[in-house]
Chains A and B, each alone.
Chain A
Amino acid sequence: MTTEQTNKNPLIAKNEWFIILAAVVLPFIFHFSPYIQGLLIFIMIWTVLGSSWNLLAGFTGLVSFGHAAYFGVGAYVGGLLYFHFHISPWWGLLLGGPVAVLFGYLLGLMVFRLRGPYFALGTLASAEILRIVFGQEEWLTNGHNGILYITTWVSKYPYYFVGLAIALGSVLTIKLVMRSKAGFYFLSIREDEDAAEALGIDTKLYKNIATIISTFWAGTAGAFYMIYMGFIDPEVVFALHNISIITILVGIIGGVGTIWGPTVGAVIMVLVQELFRSAFFDLAPSWVSRMHELAFGLLVIFVILYLAGGVVGDWDIIRKRLHFKRAEIKE
């Protein structure tokens, strides 16, 4: 996969240009309803979060179970600026990433001593501690009442394009990094950290670089979420299940350690959940709508069991299966 990429290839391949162009032009042609725009914006947010997790976990082998920490910090930067100083949360979009990076670095000082499951648990615990602290310190964060902000635009189109820019930014940065020398160092750390260290790679430095890029995009995603939704509270942005875990599942479904995996995962996650939430657009009985997360969970189990590389990582297997079946029917 990644080893095949050489610097001769253009950063954005032809079919990728096609998708980007479609994402930019189609809204002008078809005038999506606000409902569809909303879904697309959520796909963007999950793409950013999933990609940022994937850089850390899928490429560098640092499986974080606490990405909500960076997402939440990013969201609260804009939120707190608005809450205390009445500064537009749009500044959060600029500052959310860097503050999340700073925060991720401090956290890294602690959790980088840990490996494997311990690292997972350490990050998970950090995010949970933040959730509780942000809920309790009402003088700073307004606690569980959250922070409310009247969104800048009523129309969702501007948010769509901001979201698209952020999503593209995150995916392309990661693609760029993975083509560079640092990318190969990341992979070597994932495969065998001790061996990488023995070969003279400064593993600590490169783990920090991966974290900086990852936390920057996670924080930016959080800041964008704040601007778009206009409301945050600790239970939402620091959620263990709804942010940290779903981020991981988006990465897994799409394909761990692939550039476009999290994007595909985000599309699948949002579509599957929405299909069930709307009870297949009211075609199915209403109790189906309660199953939206159940359906996604079952899909995750299926993917882990049979497509360990995710939809993108195991695309060849999926394609072969499909072709094989088609051939069988023809005979």
Chain B
Amino acid sequence: MELFLQTLVNGTLIGGLYAIIGIGMTLIMGVMGIINLAHGQIMMIAMYITWVLWQFLGIDPLLSLFISIPLVYVLGDLMARYLLYPLMEKESILPENQVLMTVGIGMVLVELARTIFTSDYRSVQTSYSDIVWRLGHISLSVPVVIDFFIAIAFTGAMFWFLIKTDIGRSIRATAQDKEAAILMGVSAKKITILTFALGSSLTAAAGTLFLPIYYLYPDVGPIFTLKAFVITILGGLGSTVGAIAGGLVLGIAETFGATYISMGYRDAFGLIIFLLVLIFMPGGLKSLTKV
């Protein structure tokens, strides 16, 4: 029973972080209608920014959120403006051209990181990295708990932004019906670029938060790209609430699978759930609630 509870808690905490990666992905998917295969790689860039700040300037990862997020926002803006958006207006044989572009971008980001930082494993050891709280028989790792609450804060802020602000409304409108949104005076170009930059900076936040928990190396990205689209499909395309639910489900499923079935299959559980959802419940969790 204790093991069960411990696994549940660990899964939920990790799930909270997965959720913000998922929200970033689902925003991009909803507005641009593409899968962003560079998502995890963008997160990797944020992790390297955080690592450099820690290693050379001694800035705590939590503080470097204020630096890594704006930097990645600018990076996302530039990528969307000069690499992805121009493709939207071009005719090509495969409609997947933008997806293929994100593949190219992802590859360049990984190789840039490898050229600059080599393939060595890096990690950040903060003063609170090893502190563990004990609640009865359940232990909570302090950095993971802090990250979880920051992730919740980000999720809340994102919700407020999407629901209350004009730009947020335009984003949701574009995601729901692009043609109608354009007719209502929404600038498709502006919203597309903004959404990509915003989605990228959300995943940057996740990357910065992940750094004290995970090892960092140039190839860390693809794993998270896969997780991000598992979450997105699981939650239902374009659904922010779905992405949160999907993130939690994935986090819990992974930890349970790793604890009770096999550690080596940890990364496979998400993918298997993903295939099952694609085939049997194409609408994702969203279709259950009709929200």
Contacts and interface: CB of A to CB of B under 8 A. Distances in A.
Interface stretch (B95-103, B139-147, B148-156, B205-213): B95-103
Interface residues of B, number: 45
B4 interface: no
Contact of A110 (B230, B279, B282): B279
Given A114-B278, A301-B104, A129 B271 contact: yes
A20 to B, nearest CB: 27
B5 interface: no
How many residues of A sit at the interface, in one of the four size bands? Answer: 35 or more
Given A240-B222, A294-B108, A297-B108, A305 B86 contact: yes
Nearest to B82: A305
Contacts of A308: 90-93, 97
B13 to A, nearest CB: 24
A249 B262 contact: no
A290 B272 contact: no
Contacts of B124: none
A256 interface: yes
Interface string A292-311: 01101110110011001100
Nearest to B103: A245
A262 interface: no
Interface string B16-43: 0000000000000000001100000000
B243 interface: no
A120 interface: yes
B163 interface: no
Contacts of B230: 125
Nearest to A287: B115
B96 A128 contact: no
B279 A125 contact: no
Contacts of B93: 58, 190, 256-257, 308-309, 313
B104 A126 contact: no
A294 B112 contact: yes
Interface in B262-282: 262, 264-265, 267-268, 271-272, 274-275, 278-279, 282
Contacts of B222: 240-241
B279 A117 contact: no
